[in-house]
């Protein structure tokens, strides 16, 4: 099962007011485990960067001036995400901006049926608690000490770890690394061999575990030494 955890940075909160997406970061998961494959891009928004937005993600108008337009790089993004499920925190916001950008370059919108919202998941799992990405990182022990500004790829990497915890933790994708893999073989470690389905495992006959006559005799002797046993009351 392939899923894409992603995050976006923008010039504001509403594309209907002329705001644009300026950065996107994506992390690939296979069976809820990161594969190491990512997608990351900055885009020229063709407009200025409001000071309040720059204070959040640190992306200035000057920094983005020489970056490509989304319309010129859209195929690379669509190829990476494919037809797989897309995971985001407050996913409605990110989907709105991505679909707005797709509309501007006359591309088909991404169907909302592909959306997985970790904010909604967190609210169901921990009602009444704090559900920001920072709060969830703290709750699940995800290290975010290197996070100074909001960055799309960094936030996607943090969210991927949070998503794994929200869906049951890393044990849900537990597998066995092939014997031929050594400690330096990262590719083999990333693609663990899944456990053999129970229906395909060899059937072993049940083993007898009855106590021997000598063991039963020693047990009876032990019971006789117990003063005022409760089973005699």
What is the distance of C-alpha 129 from the center of its chain?
A: 20
Active-site residue flag, 219: no
Determine the length of the chain: 233
Count of other CB atoms within 10 angstroms of residue 222: 9
Say if CB 95 and CB 115 are below 8 A apart.
yes
DSSP for the chain, written as a single string? -EEEEEEEEESSS-GGGT--EEEEEEEEEETTEEEEEEEEEE---SS---HHHHHHH---HHHHTTSPPHHHHHHHHHHHHTTSEEEETTHHHHHHHHHHHHHHTT-PPPPGGGEEEHHHHHHHHSTTS--SHHHHHHHHT---TT-SS--HHHHHHHHHHHHHHHTT-GGGG-EE--TT--TT-HHHHHSPEEPPPGGGSPP-PPPP-PPPHHHHHHHHHHHHTSSS-GGG-
> Which candidate in 150, 191, 209, 219 is catalytic?
150
Angle (CA) 136 141 145, round 5°: 90
Q: Which residues are catalytic?
A: 150
């Amino acid at each position: 099962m392939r899923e894409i955890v992603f995050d976006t940075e923008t010039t504001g909160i509403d594309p209907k007011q002329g705001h644009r997406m300026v950065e996107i970061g994506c992390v690939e998961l296979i069976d809820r485990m990161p594969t190491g494959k990512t997608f990351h891009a900055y885009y020229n928004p063709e407009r200025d960067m409001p000071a309040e937005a720059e204070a959040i993600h640190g992306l200035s108008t000057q920094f983005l001036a020489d970056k490509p337009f989304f319309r010129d790089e859209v195929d690379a993004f669509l190829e990476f995400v494919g037809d797989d499920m897309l995971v985001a925190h407050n996913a409605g916001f990110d989907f709105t901006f991505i679909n707005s950008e797709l509309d501007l370059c006359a591309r088909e919108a991404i169907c909302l049926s592909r959306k997985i919202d970790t904010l909604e998941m967190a609210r169901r799992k921990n009602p009444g608690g704090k559900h920001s990405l920072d709060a969830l990182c703290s709750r699940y022990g995800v290290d975010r000490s290197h996070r100074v500004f909001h960055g799309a790829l960094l936030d996607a990497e943090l969210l991927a770890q949070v998503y794994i915890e929200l869906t049951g933790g890393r044990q849900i994708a537990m597998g066995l690394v092939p014997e031929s893999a050594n400690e330096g073989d990262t590719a083999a470690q990333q693609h663990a061999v899944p456990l053999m389905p129970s229906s395909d495992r060899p059937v072993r006959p049940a083993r007898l575990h009855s106590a021997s006559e000598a063991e039963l005799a020693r047990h009876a002797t032990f019971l006789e030494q117990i003063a005022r046993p409760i089973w005699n009351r």
